[in-house]
Amino acid sequence: MGLRAAALLATLLLDSCGAPPPRDEAPAADTAAPVPTPAPRAAPVPAPVAPPSRRPAADPAPAGWEAAASGEGAGLSLAAPGGGLQLTLFCPNGSGDFIVNVPALRPIASEERMTFGAGGTAVTLVADPSGDPGRGGVTGRGPFPAELPAILAGPEGISVSFGAQNSGPHGTPPADLARAFLAGCRGRT
């Protein structure tokens, strides 16, 4: 690119930004011209901050939910934002059991109870205090709960607690996935 083309390109770029074009020669100093004083700018006003909620809100986007059915049973899982799973619900074929796995929970040798629910509806599951080596985290198991439809539809979101650890509330699954999962669980018990 020649010097003339470079100067033209620089002029066009500066014109598009609103800056004056470059001059080939230095302007003569004019000592009689007044120097403009820039107008003072007002400091930006910060946006108001909402007070913190006393109760954690459910995840707003339940888009990470997926239902799966296989020869082993019916499953419903919630993907974690960074990959992996946050929560898995499973009904094994022919057992009448309901299983909840939360990979983020850590085993506690003295704890054998997991609570799963939404709002004021909760069920207690038996958890292995040594954790779940196959799935990771902690898994709770119990009989298929009659409260499961209410839990899956609860506006408060789904929560799981194990000892002092909590997972959730997680946004509830879309209604069509919840219905398919419940139908799969009922057909397998």
Domains and CATH numbers, the chain: 63-188 (2.60.40.1880)
CB 120 within 8 A of CB 152: no
Say what the pLDDT of residue 88 is.
92
> Which residues lie below 8 Å from residue 173, measured CB to CB, with a gap of 6+?
62, 65, 67, 76, 78, 152, 181
Q: Which two tokens stand for residue 32?
A: 């009689």
Q: pLDDT tens, 29-75?
A: 555 555 555 555 555 544 444 444 444 444 444 458 988 888 888 99
Say what the pLDDT of residue 148 is.
93
Q: pTM for the full model?
A: 0.63
